[in-house]
Amino acid sequence: MHAIVPPYLLARLAATQEPHLAHAAEAARATLAVAREYRPVRGRLDLSVDGDALVVEVSPAPDRVISDAQNRTTLPGVRVRGEDDPATGDRAADEAFDGLGATFDMYWDAFRRASIDGVGGTMAATVHYGVDYDNAFWNGERMVFGDGDGEVFAGFTRSVTVIAHELSHGVIENAGGLEYTGQSGALNESIADVFGALTEQHLQGQSVDEASWLIGAGIFTDAVQGTALRSMSAPGTAYDDDVLGRDPQPGHMADYVETTEDNGGVHINSGIPNRAFHLAAMALGGHAWERAGRIWYLTLTGGRLSPRSDFAAFAAATRATAAEEYGEDSEEAAAVRDAWTGVGVIEDGR
């Protein structure tokens, strides 16, 4: 299942014997035990004046539906807000609504993609899932948010990178999918991180130099020694906590983790392609969604990948996309080549 908090992190929390984290440990155990079932375009008018003429432009608009599970684990829950409804006053419901909208806007503005399915389909989310549920996940048809335990996890709707990450698993599925195991699974996680970061940067109008490149900032309480779940710029540095341990992500193939846990390390080894994207984006500068993000998006949706594509195959595909879009001798093609060289996926000079 596509969930934002890796199982190894929840397992560490579930196993802690720290008395002051007894509630959080129980919440983590309960989160791990819950079984999760996998399961026409609106428009908006933009009016402007050109001389004496009124210019009317129509673009797709999101169709959002937020439901409340009321601390149960039955989906979808009770509908609390639709696209034309006012704010509910419930922080989680309204943050989810805004986060879905920010994700829609990034995909449309940057890539002319209308919603998750590309044809303006409804974006659905459920909040207040379970009791002290320590995760957020995409179940194939909707976003689902737990409230966190309050001791380690403060809640998941407050991070737009979490929301966009999980929704992006739906984009990946619609593009043909990447099997959720080993390197293809790590690419699945990484691509979702890329679009999660781009959504936050697009929302805030940030350049590559202004961006934090953090995934999940704000979902930890102040008791945790860490800033986020993952760092795309410096994998392995997002947290270093007495209970949760140290962020295990590598940023180079020399440190690739061979493991049977976490579907073959999909959340761990995603640090390698994450850093490759960061290197490419930094080399190109400006807004990351304009060139680096475009290359990643066109690679995902352009039919160059198979469900079992590994890091080397994805690197080759992004290089081919960059050459096709910008030219073989372009700055963009060089940035992509150097990025994959920088993380050890391709050899220098190849």
Tell me: pLDDT of 119 over 70. yes
Residue 179 lies in a domain: yes
Told to judge if 202 belongs to the known catalytic residues of this protein, a careful annotator would answer no
Tell me: pLDDT of 207 over 50. yes
Here the CATH number for the domain that contains residue 122 is 1.10.390.10
Active-site annotation holder among 166, 189, 200, 332: 166
Residue 1 pLDDT grade (very low, low, confident, very high; cuts 50, 70, 90): low
Residue 6 pLDDT grade (very low, low, confident, very high; cuts 50, 70, 90): confident
Average pLDDT over residues 179-205: 97
Cα angle: 342, vertex 346, 350; to 5 degrees? 105
How far apart CA 107 and CA 114 sit, in angstroms, is 7
Tell me: pLDDT of 52 over 80. no
Residue 348 lies in a domain: no
Q: What is the pLDDT of residues 219-266, one digit of tens each?
A: 999 999 999 999 999 999 999 999 999 999 999 999 999 999 999 999
Residue 347 lies in a domain: no
Are the C-beta atoms of residues 168 and 187 closer than 8 Å to each other? Answer: no
Q: What total number of domains does the chain contain?
A: 1
Active-site annotation holder among 267, 278, 287, 332: 267
pLDDT confidence of residue 40: 42
Tokens of 158: 């407050």
Residue in the block written with tokens 């432009």: 57
DSSP state of 257: P
Average pLDDT over residues 149-156: 94
pLDDT confidence of residue 53: 64
Tell me: pLDDT of 196 over 50. yes
Count CA atoms closer than 13 A to 108's CA, side-chain side.
21
Tell me which of 264 and 55 has the higher pLDDT. Answer: 264
Told to judge if 324 belongs to the known catalytic residues of this protein, a careful annotator would answer no
Per DSSP (E only), the strands in 139-220 are 143-145, 214-215
Tokens of 241: 């906590």
Residue 273 lies in a domain: yes
Q: What are the residues whose beta carbons fall under 8 Å from the beta carbon of 52, sequence distance 6 or more?
A: none
Domain extent at residue 86? 2-342
Q: Which of 55-69, 199-213, 328-342 has the lowest mean pLDDT?
A: 55-69
Per DSSP (E only), the strands in the chain are 2-3, 42-50, 53-61, 64-68, 78-81, 123-127, 136-138, 143-145, 214-215, 230-231, 240-241, 245-246
How far apart CA 342 and CA 279 sit, in angstroms, is 8
Residue 350 lies in a domain: no
